[in-house]
Amino acid sequence: MRAAIDLFAEQGYDATTVNEIAERAGGLTKTTFFRHFSDKREVLYAGQELHGRIVSDAIGGAPDSATPLQMVASAVDELAAVFTEDRREMAGKLRKVIAESAELQERAAFKRAALVGAMTAALRERRVPELVAELAAELGTRAFYGAFGRWAVAEDPRTLVEHARQAFGELRAAMSELE
Amino acid sequence: MRAAIDLFAEQGYDATTVNEIAERAGGLTKTTFFRHFSDKREVLYAGQELHGRIVSDAIGGAPDSATPLQMVASAVDELAAVFTEDRREMAGKLRKVIAESAELQERAAFKRAALVGAMTAALRERRVPELVAELAAELGTRAFYGAFGRWAVAEDPRTLVEHARQAFGELRAAMSELE
DNA sequence: TAGCGTGATGTTACCAAGTCACATCACCAC
DNA sequence: GTGGTGATGTGACTTGGTAACATCACGCTA
């Protein structure tokens, strides 16, 4: 993964071949690469099933007294907590690489949708009505991604959790302005 | 496009080759296919730039007195109006094909995000604050896609516009339940 | 210590997506 | 009929992705 990110950052995603990535990652070959990642894009997104589990667990473990938005807030909190400061630099590189490739943005959109889906399903499990669940999940995901983007550029010393809480609050406020 | 949808429906997306599509579409070849569509997936989504323009124009043309949600409602209305009854059958086939291919769902997620982006930009243009614009655009897009899915299965005689209006209203109600 | 299974890797060959340079052909205008 | 233009075909190429088979290192056990 490190080899891939570095090569993508140096030469661009399209100009980098899977063989090059494998080669840099310790003289390996294409075949080995595809044994670890289902395709070339996935090398940048591997491990995100974990994110789905994290938000599901957070929502599943929220107290019965919690409102849907409180459940989502705790999910966003737990997810944001995964990204400790030492991952910030890599996140910044990643963001830049993705911003330059339509193919990678497509995968990103898919992963984002999967996160919304995971939150929605977990909320439904908690007997939140479908549409309310969808909107709450969307709001949480939007807060997380917005916060992630600002955190990754690193011009602000606050942690991702702090960024996420602020983003969540702002989105909530914006929602109440929507009549 | 018709050749592609039919072949995908018959054999599945993965099992269909671009050469086959071109061949069925009047004895053409791969090269010609790629002159019309940037890649294999795009054959199912071509023409969606138009959707972006439609929602932008609707929002841009809304009266100054309109609220953000009213602007979005008119955008959804105009977009839904594009899908006349004669397109319903094709839409149903399309839905099924997409549901069976991860690759196509990825492209769909991307196009959906583009639609949200187009609405957001148009709302910003109308001086709607960023976060309010994002949420309104998301709500409108969600209403449209939900309605589209129900319209395409064809078990309900109502037009897409009617479906969309109902979906929009329901989402609005769900939003106000979100504290 | 010999041998055996297992997991990670390499090799080779293959298919299909996507690109490119160059050729062809039909059609329209002058 | 001459020339330009747009759509198409051809052939060669790169690369992502798959599959079958071989290799090698390691640890376990007889």
Chain A 36-95, CB < 7 Å to strand D: 38-41
Average pLDDT along chain A:
97
Asked whether the beta carbons of residue B131 and residue A171 sit closer than 8 angstroms, the reply is yes
> A43-60: buried (b, 16+ CB within 10 Å) or exposed (e) per residue?
bbbeeeeebbebbbebbe
Picking from B31, B46, B61, the residue at the C-terminal end of a domain is B46
- A62 and A132 co-located in one domain: yes
Do residues B42 and B59 share a domain? Answer: no
Specify whether B57 is located in the same domain as B116: yes
pLDDT for the residue A34: 97
Q: Do B86 and B24 sit in the same domain of this protein? A: no
Query: In this structure, are residues A147 and A161 in contact, taking their beta carbons and an 8 Å threshold?
Result: no
Tokens of A34: 């595809």
Verify if strand D has an atom below 7 Å from the CB of B28: yes
Which pLDDT score, from 0 to 100, does residue A31 have?
Answer: 96
The CATH number given to whatever domain includes residue A20 is 1.10.10.60
- Chain B interface mutation, best of A134, A178, A179, highest count of B Cβ atoms under 10 Å: A178
Residue A155: what pLDDT? 86
A31 touches strand C (CB under 7 A): yes
Same domain membership, residue A115 and residue A57? yes
How high is the pLDDT of residue B155? 86
Q: Do A127 and A100 share a structural domain?
A: yes
The pLDDT value recorded for residue B115 is: 98
Chain B nearest-CA distance from A140, in A, is 11
Both B7 and B65 in a single domain? no
pLDDT band for position A179 (50/70/90)? confident
**pLDDT-based confidence at A153, cuts 50/70/90?**
very high
Residue B6 structure tokens: 């039919």
Whole-number Å distance between alpha carbons of A102 and A105: 5
Residues of A in contact with B42 (CB under 8 A): none
Cβ atoms of residues A77 and A161 within 8 Å: yes
Model confidence band, residue A154 (pLDDT cutoffs 50, 70, 90): confident
Per DSSP, chain A holds a count of helices (H) and strands (E) of 9, 0
Task: Give residue-wise pLDDT tens across range B31-66.
Answer: 999 999 999 999 999 989 999 999 999 999 999 999
Residues B64 and B32 in one domain: no
Beta strand ranges found along chain A (DSSP E)? none
Contact residues, chain A to chain B, C-beta under 8 Å = 67-69, 105-107, 109-110, 112-113, 129, 131-132, 134-136, 138-139, 142, 170-171, 173-175, 177-179
Are B2 and B61 part of one and the same domain?
no
Residues A37 and A96 in one domain: no
- CATH number, domain of B76, equals 1.10.357.10
Distance of CA B66 to the CA centre of its chain: 24
The pLDDT mean for chain B works out to 97
Residues A78, A10: one domain? no
Residues A39 and A51 in one domain: no
What does the block give as tokens for B149? 């899915």
Per the structure, the count of domains in chain B is 2
Cβ-contact B44, B94 below 8 angstroms: yes
Distance of CA A156 to the CA centre of its chain: 19
Buried b (16+ CB within 10 A) or exposed e, A161-177: bebbbebbeebbebbee
Is A8 in a helix, a strand, or coil? helix
Please give the residue range of the domain that contains residue B66: 47-177
Q: How far apart are the first and last CA of chain A?
A: 46
Which pLDDT score is estimated for B136?
98
Mean pLDDT over residues A6-31, rounded? 96
3-state secondary structure A25-75: CCCCCHHHHHHHCCCCHHHHCCCCHHHHHHHHHHHHCCCCCCCHHHHHHHH
Backbone phi, psi, residue B128, to 5°: -80, 135
**Averaged pLDDT for residues A72-76:** 98
